[in-house]
Every structure is written in structure tokens, then in C-alpha cells.
Amino acid sequence: MNRIVFAALAFALLALPSRAQETPQADVAVGYGFIEVPQGFTFMMHGGSGSVAFNINNWLGVVGDFGAYHADPGVSLIAETYTFGPRFSYRRWDRFIPFAQLLVGGQHASAVTTGFTNASNAFALGGGGGFDVGLDRGGRFALRPQMEYFGFRANGIMTTTARLSIGIVYRIGRK
């Protein structure tokens, strides 16, 4: 009886490292996104974003997120975002991985009116999350919907927005 209990305990402990090996070393994501800007009057900015994340362990990663968006609400407005920060993932299931992240960085916007370009730089802060849904058996590809609060601060004024995006994730390596 003691041998059976010892063998069951040994198999359970040996299974823990194999579960940790399912965590990818990194992932790369690209996708479509839009930002809703409720500043004076609400308008939508459409564009795309990409991110690169390096996983420190199975729940903590470091992410860099880059995006470019365009709106034409009477003026031609282009905005680029570049933010970095931690991502917290909950890897309980193989094909469904929810996450939350906090991003800090910058935003560059340029508006063209009557042939003149006005450009500005702003501090950017984002927080939110999403989840990855596995698309293949090998776990290399996933679909990633996400939603975030995004705030931009320039000239003492804070503009709050919501960013929604959906993209494809490619996972690299195993930890």
C-alpha cells in the first residue's frame, strides 16, 4: 500500500514540471483594432496593433504593444501608440488562457487640416485584458480578443478611450 501511495505522489510531482513546459517562451500577435474617442463628440479610430510578449514564468510576462490608428472625423487624424508593461496570464486550461495587462508608454498623433499638419506627443496608459483561444492541436496559434481602457495625457488634459481588438497569436518555443 505504501508503494502505491509513493508511486502516485511521485507521478503527481513529476507532472508539475511537464505542465510548466506548456508555457511558451514568447508570443507575437497582430490584429485589427479600434479606439473610441469620446472627446467633445465621439469618433472611432480604426487600425491595427501588434505585440511581442516574453514569458518570465507560467503566469508573468513582459509585453510591448504597438499600434497605428486612423480617423476622419472632419480632419484626418493618425495616431501611433507604443506601450510596455507586465502581463498576468492564468494558464489553467490548454486552449483558453485569460490575461490582464497594464501598459505604460506614449502616443503620437498628427492631424491634417486645410493642408497643415499639427503633431503632438502624449503619455499613454492602458489597462485591461482578454483571452487566447487555441486554434490548433500543437498550441502554436490562437485567437485573441481583448478590451482595454486607454488614456492619453498631453498639455495637462487627459483623454480617456476604450480600445477593442482581435488578432492572431503565434507562440514561440516552450518554457
Q: What is the CATH number of the domain that holds 32?
A: 2.40.160.20
Residue-wise pLDDT for 109-156, tens only, equals 887 765 556 678 899 999 999 999 999 988 899 999 999 998 888 888
Residue 85, pLDDT > 80, answer yes
Three-class SS state of 13: helix
* Residue whose C-alpha is closest to residue 128's, from 101, 165, 105: 101
Query: Domain range for residue 13?
Result: 2-172
Q: Report which of residues 13 and 65 the model is more confident about.
A: 65
Three-class SS state of 119: strand
pLDDT of 170: 97
CA dist., res. 15 & res. 111, Å (int): 56
Instruction: Give how many domains the chain has, as a whole number.
Output: 1
pLDDT of 113: 63
DSSP state of 92: -
pTM: 0.80
pLDDT of 16: 45
